Amino acid sequence: MITYLAKRILMLIPLLIGITLITFAVIHLAPGEPVDMQISMSPKVSAEARQRIREFYGLDKPLHVQYVQWLGRMARLDFGRSFAPDNRPVTDKIAERIPITLSLNLIALILEFGIALPIGILAAVRRDTMLDKGITVFVFVGFAVPTFWLALLLMYFFGVKLGWLPISGLHSLGSDRMGLFAWFADLLKHLILPIGVMTFGSLAGLSRYMRSSMLEVIRQDYITTARAKGLPERTVILRHALRNALLPVITFLGFSLPGLIGGSVIFETIFAIPGMGQLFYQGVMMRDYPLIMGILVIGAFLTLIGNLLADVCYSIADPRIRQGRT
C-alpha cells in the first residue's frame, strides 16, 4: 500500500509539468496580449508606451525563456504578479476568492449528495412507478432549465415582488456593524437563492447515476439471497444493496474535488458573487498569463489529488482492490 502510494505521488510530478507545459503553450497561442486590453483604442497611447508596457511584463522575451522563468518561480511556489493593471501577486487574488467559491461549492456539494443519493435510491427501489417518473421529470427539469433564466425569475419573484430575499451579493450594506448572529443570518439569506439554483441544476447527474448503480446491484444474486433469508426490505436495501451501489459514487466524489475551486462564470455574474469563475474568465479575456496559469496549476493539482484520493478510498472501501484481487 505504501509503495503504491509513493509511486502514485511521484508520478504526479511529471504529470504536473506536462500539464503546465501544454497549458502554457496553448494560452500563448491564443491571439492577443495582455497589453491590448490596457491600451488599445486609446488615442493617447503611443507605440513606444506599448513597448514599455511589454517590457515591464517581460513579454518581449522568447516564449521558451518565459516558460523556464515561470517554471523557476513556480518551483519556489511563487505564482508571480498579475498582468492586470493592479499588478498584484496572483496568490493574493486567488486567496481572496477561493474561500467564497470553496464554501459555496462545498455547501452545494453536500446538498447535492444529500438530496441526489436518497432520491436516486428511491427511484431505483420504486422503479417505473409514478414516483420514479416524477423524480426523473424533476431532476431533468433542473438539468435542462438554463440557470441564468431560472435565477433571474427567482430573483424577480423573491427579491423584487415579495421582497423576502436579497437579490445579489453576499452581504447587506452595513452588515459589518451587525452582531455575529445577525451577520450570519444575513449571509445565509444571501446564499439561499444561489445555492438553491446551483443544487437544483446539479441533481440530475448524480441521482441518475445512483439510480442505475442501485438497479444493477438489486438484480444481483446476493440481494435475492438476502431477501430469501427473510430480511426486512429496509435492511436489504440499506445494508446490503446500498453499500455496494455506493462504490462507483466514490469516483464521482473524487471528480468533484477540482470542481470545488472552479466557479461558473454565468452564475457568479448573475448573483454578483466574486468567485473563481469570474476571476478566471477575466484573466482569460485580459490574457493575464500568470493568473490563468496559477488557477490552472491549482486546478490540475487538485484533479490529480482527487483521482489519487478516489483510488485510495476505493481500495479502502473495496477489499478486493485492497488485496489486489481485482
Partner 1 sequence: MRDRARTFLISALLILCLAGCDNGGERQRQLSRGQGIPAYGDTIVEGSIGEPSNLIPILASDSASFDIAALVYNGLVKYDKDLNLTGNLAQSWDISPDGLTITFRLRRGVKWHDGADFTSRDVLYTYRVIIDPKTPTAYAEDFKQVKKVEAPDPYTFRATYAKPFAPALASWGTAMLPAHLLEGKDITRSPLSRKPIGTGPYRFKEWIPGQKVVLESFHDYFEGRPYIDRYVYRIIPDTSTMYMELKAGGLDLMSLTPIQYQRQTDTPEFLSRFNKYRYAASSYVYLGYNLGNPLFGDKRARQAITSAISKQEIIQGALLGMGQPAHGPYKPGTWAYNAGVKDLGYNPEKARTLLAKAGWKPGSDGILVKDGRPFRFTVLTNQGNEQRLKTAQIIQQRLRAVGIDVRIRVLEWSSFITHFIDKRNFEAVILAWTITPDPDIFDVWHSSKTGPKELNFIGFRNAEVDRLLDEGRRTFDREKRKHCYYRIQDILAEEQPYTFLFVPDALPVVSARFRGIQPAPAGISYNFIHWYAPKEEQVYK
Among 16, 115, 159, 251, interactor with partner 1 by CB under 8 A: 159
- Please give the grid coordinates belonging to residue 34: 495582455
Supply the DSSP symbol for 97: T
271 binds partner 1, rule: CB under 8 A: yes
43 binds partner 1, rule: CB under 8 A: yes
Query: Collapsing DSSP states into helix, strand and coil, what is residue 145?
Result: coil
Scanning 113-121, 130-138, 201-209, 273-281 for contacts with partner 1 by CB under 8 A, the matching segment is 273-281
Task: State the binding string over 114-153 for partner 1 (x if CB under 8 A, else -).
Answer: --------------------------------------x-
Cα dihedral across residues 237, 242, 243, 245: positive or negative: positive
Among 90, 236, 237, 286, interactor with partner 1 by CB under 8 A: 286
Supply the DSSP symbol for 318: -
Among 61, 126, 171, 227, interactor with partner 1 by CB under 8 A: 171
Q: Look-up: residue for cell 442505475?
A: 212
33 binds partner 1, rule: CB under 8 A: yes
The gap between the terminal CA atoms of the chain, to the nearest Å, is 15
Give dist(CA 34, CA 85) in Å, integer.
Answer: 10
168 binds partner 1, rule: CB under 8 A: yes
Whether the CB-CB separation of 26 and 292 falls below 8 Å is answered with no
53 binds partner 1, rule: CB under 8 A: yes
Among 9, 188, 285, 316, interactor with partner 1 by CB under 8 A: 285
Q: Look-up: residue for cell 505504501?
A: 2
Within positions 85 to 104, which residues make up the interface with partner 1, using CB under 8 A?
85-88, 93, 96-97, 100
Among 269, 305, 311, 313, interactor with partner 1 by CB under 8 A: 269
Query: Site for partner 1 (CB under 8 A): how many residues?
Result: 57
Runs of H (alpha helix) within 76-171: 90-95, 98-125, 130-144, 147-154
Among 116, 121, 125, 167, interactor with partner 1 by CB under 8 A: 167
Contacts of residue 9, defined as CB under 8 A and 6 or more positions apart, other chains included, come to: 308
Among 2, 14, 29, 46, interactor with partner 1 by CB under 8 A: 46
Looking at beta carbons only, is 31 or 324 nearer to partner 1? 31
Give dist(CA 297, CA 178) in Å, integer.
Answer: 38
Helices (H) and strands (E) counted in the chain, each on its own, are 17, 0
Alpha carbon dihedral 261, 263, 268, 269, in 10-degree steps, equals 130
Supply the DSSP symbol for 177: G
Looking at beta carbons only, is 33 or 112 nearer to partner 1? 33
- Please give the grid coordinates belonging to residue 116: 441526489
324 binds partner 1, rule: CB under 8 A: no
Residue 53 CB, nearest distance to partner 1 (Å)? Answer: 5
211 binds partner 1, rule: CB under 8 A: no
Residues making contact with partner 1 (CB under 8 A) = 30-33, 36-47, 49-50, 52-53, 56, 84-88, 93, 96-97, 100, 152, 155-156, 159-160, 163, 166-171, 173-174, 268-275, 278-279, 285-287
